[in-house]
Copies of this chain bind each other. A is one copy, B any other.
Amino acid sequence: MSLFTDFYELTMCASYFDNKNFEPATFDLFIRRLPENRSYFLFAGLEQALQYLQSIKFTEEHLAYLKNQGFNQDFLDYLRGFRFTGDVCAVPEGTVTFPNEPLIRVTSPIIEAQLVETFLLNTVNLQTMIATKASRVVHAAKGKTVIEFGLRREQGIDAGMKVARSSYIAGCQGTSNVLAGQVYGIPVFGTMAHSFIMSYPKEIDAFRAFAKTFPNKSTLLIDTYDDISGAEKAAVVAKELEAKGFRLGGVRLDSGDLAQTSKKVRKILDDQGLNYAKIFASGDLDEFKIAELLSNGAQINAFGVGTKMGTSADRPYLDVIYKLCETMTADGSFSPIMKLSKDKITLPGRKQVYRFKNAKGNFEKDIIALANEKVQGEPLLVKVMEKGKLIYNLPSLEEIRAAAAENLSKLPEDYKALTGAPVYPVELSKNLQNLIKTLKRQLTLNEINHGVSNTQA
């Protein structure tokens, strides 16, 4: 994956190399702001980021391609021996976080820290975005099962895999993606498609054929022609299964007014003594639709949620960025760095995030402080790599999922409102505020007022 990077990372690195700049620097990966209808982030993607940092290197094939792109031999020789040798602190996956909080902090020779930017952003963007979205869907489902069903319209192969992973972290109970089941050990689920029904002359023949193959776990799709008569036929097949000592799993609705239909279908099943048969709903679902269905008394046991969760359709990206926050100066000490573009101020210096909790462990506020400050509260960033070596026990997916559940349970209910949630308080420590003031003054003097003539001096 070493060429999975923006070209400018390589041109900048070539210039650092050319200008003999091998000094260490620190970069923060963070998310600038909350999208509309998001009130927190559920952080995910660290495992893949760390795998990448441990394995990045350039093959001869890569170097030959870069030579063709005009990079000089000295730099290519440097890349041939390239390994990531830096220190990394990060927030564990499954942590609830907020804007401007460093999620991954990289300290290494500036060439290395620069070169890894694109991959880190790409994997954190996708997984944190989906984990966040999926946590909202799970919250809206109020304890009912949510299965991730979006593979066919997720944005490519890797998205298909990472959406399954991050939505499982967020509390989904499984995925339709079989490969994600195999690779990550996530439970896989599936029912049947309309094509299966339509391939038989009669709907009930399709039901019977499927029930023959899966006598104890069939979920029959009942809306191909008409959901009510579909439910009646499913009940017939369920009774046939009962006669053989089996039990129908349930039925699936994929269209129409799911709240009203599910009530009618529930009655049809219950009237036949099929109280155990579950009603599974799918079709264009997201957190808003699920909340509406439940508030309308939908009789639904499980939701299959696809495209809108799997692409985070209402906001398919995060404002995740990776910014230089300190460089080493000539005297060997680190010097804080800040960006001052309009509306794009960054937080200078090496930082830590502290979380404050009440007696019950519920989150009250966070403080972003300088790393060397003494601050109350629980530090969120932990050291995960030292000199390029992993010094962190990567938690299992189940452990990450449990951490996410614990984090979400400690986030007060208000902040989980689907719309109009209040802003969680994230403060800057006094020292960090003072540093920002000082740097603003310096930058203004150096670069803005004096302009070209002075900067040439």
- How far apart are the CA atoms of A318 and B62 in the complex, in Å? 35
In the complex, which residue of chain B has the Cβ closest to the Cβ of A329?
Answer: B201
Asked whether any CB of chain B lies closer than 8 Å to the CB of A193, the reply is yes
Chain B residues with Cβ under 8 A from A217's Cβ? 70
Asked whether any CB of chain B lies closer than 8 Å to the CB of A270, the reply is no
Chain B residues with Cβ under 8 A from A224's Cβ? 339-341
Chain B residues with Cβ under 8 A from A61's Cβ? 182
Question: Quick check: A7 and B189 within 8 Å, CB to CB?
Answer: yes
Asked whether any CB of chain B lies closer than 8 Å to the CB of A107, the reply is no
Residue in B151, B152, B155, B342 whose beta carbon sits within 8 Å of that of A255 in the complex:
B342
Interface centre among A199, A318, A322 (most CB of B within 10 A): A199
In the complex, which residue of chain B has the Cβ closest to the Cβ of A156?
Answer: B158
CB contact under 8 A between A455 and B121, given known A156-B159, A157-B158, A342-B256: no
Q: Which of A94-102, A204-212, A386-394 contacts B (4 or more CB under 8 A)?
A: A204-212
- How far apart are the CA atoms of A327 and B27 in the complex, in Å? 59
Question: Quick check: A27 and B195 within 8 Å, CB to CB?
Answer: yes
Question: Quick check: B153 and A10 within 8 Å, CB to CB?
Answer: no
Asked whether any CB of chain B lies closer than 8 Å to the CB of A191, the reply is yes
Q: Which of A134-142, A228-236, A375-383, A430-438 contacts B (4 or more CB under 8 A)?
A: A228-236
Asked whether any CB of chain B lies closer than 8 Å to the CB of A126, the reply is yes
Asked whether any CB of chain B lies closer than 8 Å to the CB of A177, the reply is yes
Question: Quick check: B323 and A195 within 8 Å, CB to CB?
Answer: yes
- How far apart are the CA atoms of A138 and B199 in the complex, in Å? 43
The A417-440 residues at the B interface (CB cut-off 8 A) are none
- How far apart are the CA atoms of A101 and B383 in the complex, in Å? 54
Chain B residues with Cβ under 8 A from A123's Cβ? 156
CB contact under 8 A between A118 and B151, given known A21-B199, A233-B455, A447-B229: yes
Chain B residues with Cβ under 8 A from A317's Cβ? 153, 307, 311, 313
The A190-225 residues at the B interface (CB cut-off 8 A) are 190-196, 198-199, 202-204, 209-210, 212-214, 217, 223-225
Chain B residues with Cβ under 8 A from A456's Cβ? 204, 236
Question: Quick check: A159 and B151 within 8 Å, CB to CB?
Answer: no
Q: Which of A12-20, A295-303, A360-368, A396-404 contacts B (4 or more CB under 8 A)?
A: A12-20
Asked whether any CB of chain B lies closer than 8 Å to the CB of A6, the reply is yes
In the complex, which residue of chain B has the Cβ closest to the Cβ of A447?
Answer: B225
Question: Quick check: B313 and A316 within 8 Å, CB to CB?
Answer: yes
- How far apart are the CA atoms of A324 and B197 in the complex, in Å? 10
- How far apart are the CA atoms of A178 and B69 in the complex, in Å? 10
Residue in B6, B154, B176, B199 whose beta carbon sits within 8 Å of that of A177 in the complex:
B6
Residue in B15, B151, B190, B324 whose beta carbon sits within 8 Å of that of A10 in the complex:
B190
In the complex, which residue of chain B has the Cβ closest to the Cβ of A307?
Answer: B317
Q: Chain A 277-294 against B: per-residue CB contact (8 Å), 1 yes, 0 no?
A: 000000000000000000
Chain B residues with Cβ under 8 A from A371's Cβ? none
CB contact under 8 A between A178 and B15, given known A152-B122, A341-B255, A452-B233: no
Question: In angstroms, how far is the closest chain B Cβ from the Cβ of A361?
Answer: 34
Residue in B6, B125, B179 whose beta carbon sits within 8 Å of that of A178 in the complex:
B6
CB contact under 8 A between A15 and B212, given known A181-B7, A202-B447: yes
Question: Quick check: A210 and B65 within 8 Å, CB to CB?
Answer: no
Chain B residues with Cβ under 8 A from A114's Cβ? 193, 195-196
Asked whether any CB of chain B lies closer than 8 Å to the CB of A117, the reply is yes
- How far apart are the CA atoms of A84 and B101 in the complex, in Å? 50
The contact sample of 17 A-B pairs, CB cut-off 8 A, is: A4-B151, A6-B151, A16-B199, A65-B181, A154-B155, A155-B156, A158-B158, A202-B447, A203-B447, A223-B341, A229-B448, A229-B451, A229-B455, A236-B452, A255-B343, A313-B316, A316-B316
Q: Which 8 residue pairs of A and B lie closest in terms of their CB atoms, listed nearest first?
A: A7-B190, A8-B190, A156-B158, A155-B155, A316-B316, A195-B324, A121-B152, A15-B213
Other than A153-B318, A156-B161, A158-B158, give 8 A-B pairs with Cβ distance below 8 A. Answer: A4-B157, A6-B152, A15-B214, A19-B212, A70-B217, A194-B339, A195-B324, A225-B341
